[in-house]
Amino acid sequence: MYKAIISSNEIEGVKTERKEVSEAYDSVVKKDEKNVRLKSTLALYNDIMHSEKIDIHTLEDIRDIYNQLTEGEIAEEAVPNGQLFREQVENEIVTVGNHIPPQTELEISSLLLKWIEFINDHSFPYLVRATLGHYFFENIHPFNDGNGRTGRYIFSRYLSKKLDPYSGLVISQKINENKSDYYKSFEITGDAYNKGEATFFMQAMLEYVVSGQKEIIDTLTEKTHNLDTVLRWLEENSYQDEEGYVLFLLYQSQLFTDSKDDGIQDIEIFDMAKTSNYTVRAVQRAMEKLERKGVIEVSTKRPKRHRIVSPVV
């Protein structure tokens, strides 16, 4: 999820630190009232992980997604100047590269209503609707800023529902890795001599999906092997009961996160212990013992986290 948000913003030239995403995620999970940058964005992407269905049936639905996704991220002068979308400013023509999108809010709204009809038309294959829907949305360009982030998020949501959450999340990362080809596919499809042939665009988008899926499978295969190796090591070195429980949770956390600031919190380990065969106090004592032995150390204090420092394998 972190990579999806960072990649999507990076495509638009918006700098996003991993720490900011982590803080926003903590705020969403805790359901606190803190005003944290990217909090609303995290809430939307969190829906992808939980396979929440996305329903877009009105123009207001589109604007609601845009508002949540870009809250606090759009400069005041770039906020939509129409009722829902951008409105033409006198003597100004909006262009996107060589493409001239609809200029007035009336034209934008009319085309978006047709887009809504298309993405909800089940007579078309799902992936055709998802990929071509992304092309049409970006070409309509309904907002002054934030079109790419909004369009890729909607694309991700549709992919995650039909395929799986990881396929939906990885699409922004693969697009970011192939940014020039991504924009080129828009140019080729929109070329007047191409006469609206969109096969190339669909193929390019689906190749990103397949590439991302293969990468996910390879990563999970490798990490599964690592977990199996660690389980054997813990058993062979007599790390059983509460100590083994703590070490295995910490190892999983370090294996699937890139930063010490994103690891599992002590409080989360204690909460999980409540549903295991171990008591919270026994787990606390095990952590204290492992820390004295130099096997683990405190990595962050607020919230408190531990990490493994002694080689486990």
What is the DSSP code string of 121-143?
Answer: -TTS-HHHHHHHHHHHHHHH--S
- Name 302's Cβ contacts closer than 8 Å, sequence gap at least 6: none
Q: Residue 27 has what pLDDT?
A: 66
CB 176 within 8 A of CB 10: yes
What are the start-end ranges of the H helices in 164-198? 165-177, 179-190
pLDDT tens track for 190-246: 988 888 899 999 999 999 999 999 999 999 999 999 999 998 988 888 888 999 999
Question: Tens digit of pLDDT for each residue in 34-47?
Answer: 666 665 676 677 77
Q: Which parts of the chain sit beneath pLDDT 50?
A: none
Burial class (CB in 10 A: 0-12, 13-18, 19+), 307: middle
Quick one: 240 exposed, middle or buried, by C-beta within 10 A (0-12, 13-18, 19+)? exposed
Q: What integer pLDDT is reported at residue 33 of this predicted model?
A: 62
Q: What is the pLDDT of residue 71?
A: 86
The predicted model scores a pTM of 0.81
Question: Which residue reads 């992980």 in tokens?
Answer: 49
β-bridge partners, 307:
297
Determine the pLDDT at residue 50: 72
Tokens of 161: 């529902």
Helix (H) or strand (E) holding 51: none
Predicted local distance difference test score (pLDDT) of residue 208? 95
Neighbours of 82 (CB within 10 A): 16
Asked if 270 contacts 280 with a C-beta cutoff of 8 angstroms, the reply is yes
CB 282 within 8 A of CB 270: no
Token pair listed for 104: 């007035």
Instruction: List CB contacts of 9: < 8 A, sequence separation 6 or more.
Output: 15, 16, 149
